[in-house]
Amino acid sequence: MEARFFRLDRIDVSAGTDKEPFAKVQVYHVEHESSREESSTGDGPVDALYNAIDAAVGSPHKLLNYTIRSVTEGSDALGEATVLVSYGEVLFRGVARDADVLQASANAYVEALNKLESYRKDEEIQVFVRGGIIESFRSRDQGSD
């Protein structure tokens, strides 16, 4: 199972004909054991939701693609949201299903951001190992010549 860095605890989204789309989210940061609440507006309810999540997470990335589709039929149909985010040249995909398409959209986005954050942490460890541990062995070996 993938390491989790962010957990979406709550979303509140509002939109209407004569109303600017607005979203408020609460995101729990597992590593820091703290919650962060943020709100934002957007071009639509999903954009407002993603802007609020971005503010709560604070991790650099770019949303490349967002799709939503019905995966069951009827008035209680499940919606499946798929997002693709990038961090530099690396892509991360999140997928979630829910009867509430806004909840599915938020969950898919947070899943992709968790994958991105896991990659970033692995990258930091690799840089530390290359730059710190390996370099200390090189220095030690050169000093014994």
Number of domains in the chain: 1
In degrees, rounded to 5, the angle at the alpha carbon of residue 69 between the alpha carbons of residues 103 and 76 is: 65
Looking at the predicted structure, is the pLDDT value of residue 16 above 80?
yes
Adjacent-strand bridge partners of 52: none
Asked if residue 41 belongs to a domain, the reply is yes
Per the structure, the complete domain to which residue 49 belongs is given by 6-143
CATH code, domain carrying 134: 3.30.160.270
Looking at the predicted structure, is the pLDDT value of residue 21 above 60?
yes
CB 106 within 8 Å of CB 8: yes
Q: How far apart are CA 124 and CA 144, in angstroms?
A: 30
| Amino acid at residue number 110 | V
| Weakest mean pLDDT among 9-13, 71-75, 130-134 | 130-134
Asked if residue 1 belongs to a domain, the reply is no
Looking at the predicted structure, is the pLDDT value of residue 128 above 90?
no
pLDDT at 135: 62
The percentage of residues in the chain with a pLDDT greater than 90, rounded to a whole number, is 72
The pTM is what? Answer: 0.84
